[in-house]
């Protein structure tokens, strides 16, 4: 379908490895570079959040025949387990049979590299790319930034090198390159719930566990070995912040008070807390994503988002699905492939960035708001009665491959309707009445 | 007042030179570096827009005793001269005696360097700073980015090196550094109206000349030598864009059709058009602006804005006014000087960025809007009758040194009132009635 080219992929993460598999399918010679050692030969860093694979991710994997291999290391979660201070509630994610899938980032990354190597991609680890000459797709590689560099010329270069991409760094210096990076005043830290002695899970294995507390929260996602990877999200400064938790006692007190049922399942709490780094959360946007028919960015390198919708990897994988559709359509015309790719993906990347940021805002400010909880109750009630007329936003994002832009737009429209419904007199009493349903149906008709 | 330090200022532009004068006043040893040759020894580049000095700029200059030296090279403009296709209107900027001042960027920059040298600052030109070590305020200087570098250690480093600042570039690589750069889809090109043979100006000398045409416009500001510096602002692509004007004929046709009265005063139109570059317009925001008590950014290096409010230089000069107030207040406590400086200036920089961008939007989309013109008419009428109750936004920005944030907030409040006034029945007929005035007064009372 395409004339075979020599292609470099910078970054051996999830999206880079998947891209390598697709490029091999298209018949190219593929070299994948990474500045880090081979992740298959080292222990992982203790700074990851478990992944939640959903429909867009699976579509990209199945599109190149590796979905089943990944399903082997995935655990379905069909619900949230909401740990309040004094009780535990469950909330189903979607319809029966709809789940998101917990996967350890390290395990998946190792698997993806194995699969890419099996497909014929060549991996070069501990190769530091300091700069890229865009006009002739040449990588500049060396031990140090100021030392000797070796030049490697390719036909095409893909930047799959994450939120702090070196490839993008060069593109940023071009005129008319729009760019923004915005850090949240919130960090996260990995913690660990080990398996029971018999290898079973200490908490329900098919739940995404969450301890929501307004401005901070704890989550836990299951691993294959019976353990859970936990992540504490919390502001850096102020009340209930990382800055407040400076010694073993304050950490223990904080968890005992705020996450009482977590204490017995996180035995290494204080050790892990002070051993593991506190990581930052950034939203990065840029445009353009490509340079002529020579260089293109994929995944976090062109759209890094905050993790509160669980869509970072899924959005990156969807880049590759779209890229391959365009390769099938335009063949050797890489110029058109690249320009159509960035044109199609950019608005969708912005939409999921917006949705992810809003989920952070929602979580940190609205979870205690009575009106908001009532709104969610009305939506759920109506959606169960009229499932074709009201697909919840979460399902549009998670259990669908329709564009993120569409999910955002319809979500905004649904929210507009709900704001009017919440104004109705005595809505607290009549929220599940026939009359309110008719009001919603009428509002939907007007669209 | 302060312990004398050895201070480097990177950038010998307007803000860097002014800062050098203030730092000499505070008793320091000051070295100013610039990657370009001494501007006093070269002809200027043909890519500038004349400056419009207003109150904030004068305050900063007078604060260090150099205002009068600059007044010698400034021409007061008390009004806009609005060149419509078939007529010429004048619009006074403020009250009697209020003017903005046209100054050629090159002339002012030469003067500022002379003044800084006279104050004892040392200038080093054609010195390329490639990197800065933030923690010990060390500059890394060399011929090329990849070649040999010389290290120069200082007590403090100021980055006054403009929108594409190398000093900021290093700060950008720190975690938690927020950054955005956004280019307008509009460029600009310098053109030239020469003096008459007797040295007089071809157009009214005390006017800011503007040919507004919606999505594009031409402006002209007077120079001391009888000439005007003109700037054409126009989209890069689309109808009426730089992309359309590709040969002498298309340029001449375009000007004859759209700026008919400019033709006879711009004799070198096509030569200048193709000789001078088309420049870009960027809004750049970032935070933080300082690193501990070692490094601080000033002017465009930390807040580059689009030129449509004429406040870029004025805002940069005001940075220095504020910095010096804090030096007077906190003495040797540079850590506090820097943190108070960025805390006070950042919201104001954001406010003037917003106002400048809105003026671009206003210019490009609203100038032809009847409602908008009516609004301006009502505001003017009311403001002339009740000058204490309604200071127009333009005057708050231009003829005041109150914070930009205040101007923005009051401007928004005024606009809210006006939106309600414009809803009144028959407003087109009754806009200058006593009744409408009473409505505005009542709305102002509610504040």
DSSP assignment string, A80-105: EEEE-SS-EEEEE-SSTT--EEEE-H
Q: Which chain A residues contact residue B170 at CB under 8 A?
A: none
CA distance B386 to chain A (A): 40
Please indicate whether, in this complex, the C-beta atoms of B181 and A182 are within 8 angstroms of each other. no
| Top CATH class, A6-74+104-181+283-359 | alpha beta
Residues A184 and A305 sit within 8 Å (Cβ to Cβ): no
pLDDT the model gives residue B336: 98
Residue A409 neighbours by CB under 8 Å, 6+ apart: none
CB atoms within 10 A of CB A57: 29
Q: Which chain B residues contact residue A175 at CB under 8 A?
A: 183, 280
Q: Which chain B residues contact residue A280 at CB under 8 A?
A: 175-176
pLDDT the model gives residue B329: 97
In terms of Cα–Cα distance, which of B30, B222, B26 is closest to B120?
B30
pLDDT the model gives residue A208: 95
d(CA A180, CA A18) in angstroms, rounded, equals 26
In terms of Cα–Cα distance, which of B123, B100, B109 is closest to B18?
B109
* CB-nearest partner of A180 from B149, B180, B183: B180
* CB-nearest partner of A280 from B175, B179, B182: B175
CB atoms within 10 A of CB A233: 24
CA distance A305 to chain B (A): 14
Q: What is the mean pLDDT of chain A?
A: 94
Please indicate whether, in this complex, the C-beta atoms of B182 and A180 are within 8 angstroms of each other. yes
d(CA B33, CA B165) in angstroms, rounded, equals 13
Q: Which chain A residues contact residue B146 at CB under 8 A?
A: 146
Nearest CA in chain A to B183: A176
Please indicate whether, in this complex, the C-beta atoms of A183 and B178 are within 8 angstroms of each other. yes
Q: Which chain A residues contact residue B283 at CB under 8 A?
A: none
Q: How many CB pairs under 8 A join A and B?
A: 30
pLDDT the model gives residue B193: 97
Please indicate whether, in this complex, the C-beta atoms of B175 and A182 are within 8 angstroms of each other. no
Mutate to test the interface with A, among B168, B169, B183 (most CBs of A within 10 A): B183
* CB-nearest partner of B179 from A146, A177, A181: A181
pLDDT the model gives residue A44: 66
Q: Which chain B residues contact residue A181 at CB under 8 A?
A: 177-180
* CB-nearest partner of A175 from B149, B180, B280: B280
Residues A355 and A408 sit within 8 Å (Cβ to Cβ): yes
**Tokens found for residue A71:** 């399903």
pLDDT the model gives residue A116: 98
Q: Which chain B residues contact residue A180 at CB under 8 A?
A: 179-182
Residues of A with CB under 8 A from a CB of B: 146, 175-183, 280
Low-confidence ranges of chain B (pLDDT < 50): none
CA distance A379 to chain B (A): 34
Q: Tell me the ipTM for this assembly.
A: 0.87
Q: Which chain B residues contact residue A183 at CB under 8 A?
A: 175-178
pLDDT the model gives residue A426: 93
Q: What is the DSSP letter of B92?
A: E
Q: Which chain A residues contact residue B277 at CB under 8 A?
A: none
Please indicate whether, in this complex, the C-beta atoms of A178 and B182 are within 8 angstroms of each other. yes
Please indicate whether, in this complex, the C-beta atoms of A183 and B181 are within 8 angstroms of each other. no
Mutate to test the interface with A, among B47, B131, B146 (most CBs of A within 10 A): B146
CA distance A162 to chain B (A): 14
d(CA B157, CA B7) in angstroms, rounded, equals 6
Residues B447 and B413 sit within 8 Å (Cβ to Cβ): yes
Q: Which chain B residues contact residue A242 at CB under 8 A?
A: none
Nearest CA in chain B to A285: B180
Residue B315 neighbours by CB under 8 Å, 6+ apart: B56, B299, B303, B305, B348, B349, B352, B404
pLDDT band with cut points at 50, 70 and 90 for residue A45: low
pLDDT band with cut points at 50, 70 and 90 for residue A46: low
Q: Under CATH, domain B6-79+104-181+283-359 is a member of which superfamily?
A: FAD/NAD(P)-binding domain (3.50.50.60)
Nearest CA in chain A to B164: A173
* CB-nearest partner of A179 from B146, B176, B180: B180
CA distance B46 to chain A (A): 18
pLDDT the model gives residue A367: 61
Please indicate whether, in this complex, the C-beta atoms of B179 and A177 are within 8 angstroms of each other. no
pLDDT the model gives residue A9: 98
Can you say how many angstroms the Cα of residue B74 is from the centroid of all Cα atoms in its chain?
Answer: 16
For chain B, the domains span: 6-79+104-181+283-359, 185-280, 369-445
Instruction: Quick: pLDDT tens for A218-228.
Output: 999 999 999 99
Please indicate whether, in this complex, the C-beta atoms of A177 and B181 are within 8 angstroms of each other. yes
| Higher per-residue confidence, B212 vs A71 | A71
d(CA B311, CA B299) in angstroms, rounded, equals 11
Task: Decide if pLDDT at A191 tops 80.
Answer: yes
Nearest CA in chain B to A287: B182
**Tokens found for residue A65:** 């025949």
φ, ψ of residue B29 to 5 degrees: the values are -85, 125
CA distance B280 to chain A (A): 7
Q: Which chain B residues contact residue A182 at CB under 8 A?
A: 178, 180
Mutate to test the interface with A, among B141, B176, B286 (most CBs of A within 10 A): B176
Can you say how many angstroms the Cα of residue B32 is from the centroid of all Cα atoms in its chain?
Answer: 22
d(CA B138, CA B135) in angstroms, rounded, equals 8
Residues of B with CB under 8 A from a CB of A: 146, 149, 175-183, 280
Q: What is the DSSP letter of A365?
A: I
pLDDT the model gives residue B107: 94
Please indicate whether, in this complex, the C-beta atoms of A176 and B146 are within 8 angstroms of each other. no
pLDDT band with cut points at 50, 70 and 90 for residue A10: very high
């Amino acid at each position: 379908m395409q004339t075979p080219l020599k292609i470099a992929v910078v970054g051996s993460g999830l999206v880079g490895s998947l891209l390598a598999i697709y490029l091999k399918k298209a018949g190219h010679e593929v070299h994948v570079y990474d500045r880090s050692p081979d992740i298959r030969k080292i222990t992982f860093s203790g700074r990851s959040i478990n992944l939640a694979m959903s429909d867009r991710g699976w579509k990209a994997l199945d599109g190149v025949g590796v979905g089943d291999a990944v399903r082997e290391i995935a655990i379905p979660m069909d619900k949230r387990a909401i740990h309040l201070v004094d009780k535990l509630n469950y909330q189903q994610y979607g319809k029966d049979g709809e789940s998101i899938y917990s996967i350890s980032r390290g395990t998946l990354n190792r698997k993806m590299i194995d699969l890419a190597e099996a497909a014929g991609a060549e991996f070069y680890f501990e190769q530091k790319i300091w700069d890229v000459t865009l006009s002739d797709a040449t990588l500049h590689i060396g031990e140090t930034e100021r030392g000797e560099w070796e030049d490697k010329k390719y036909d095409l270069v893909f930047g799959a090198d994450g939120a702090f991409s070196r490839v993008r760094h060069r593109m940023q210096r071009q005129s008319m390159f729009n760019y923004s990076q915005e850090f949240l005043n919130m960090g996260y830290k990995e913690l660990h719930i080990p398996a029971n002695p018999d290898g079973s899970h200490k908490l329900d294995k098919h739940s995404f566990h969450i301890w929501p507390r307004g401005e901070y929260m704890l989550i836990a996602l299951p691993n294959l070995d019976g353990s859970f990877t936990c992540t504490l999200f919390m502001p850096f400064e102020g009340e209930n912040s990382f800055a407040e938790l400076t010694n073993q006692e304050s950490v223990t007190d904080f968890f005992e008070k705020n996450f009482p049922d977590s204490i017995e399942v996180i035995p290494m709490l204080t050790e892990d807390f002070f051993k593991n780094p506190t990581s930052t959360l950034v939203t990065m946007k840029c445009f353009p994503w490509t340079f002529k028919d020579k260089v293109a960015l994929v995944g976090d390198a062109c759209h890094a988002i905050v993790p509160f919708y669980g869509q970072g990897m899924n959005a990156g994988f969807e880049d590759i699905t779209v890229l391959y559709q365009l390769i099938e359509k335009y063949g050797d015309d890489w110029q058109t492939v690249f320009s159509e790719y960035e044109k199609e993906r950019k608005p969708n990347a912005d939409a999921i960035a917006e949705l992810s940021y809003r989920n952070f805002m929602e979580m940190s400010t609205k979870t205690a708001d009575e009106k908001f909880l009532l709104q969610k109750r009305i939506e759920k009630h109506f959606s169960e009665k009229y499932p074709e007329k009201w697909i919840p936003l979460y399902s549009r994002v998670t259990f669908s491959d329709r564009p993120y832009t569409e999910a955002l737009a319809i979500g905004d429209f649904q929210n507009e309707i709900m704001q009017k419904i919440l104004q109705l007199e005595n809505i607290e009493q009549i929220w599940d009445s026939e009359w309110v349903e008719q009001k919603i149906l009428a509002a939907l008709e007007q669209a």
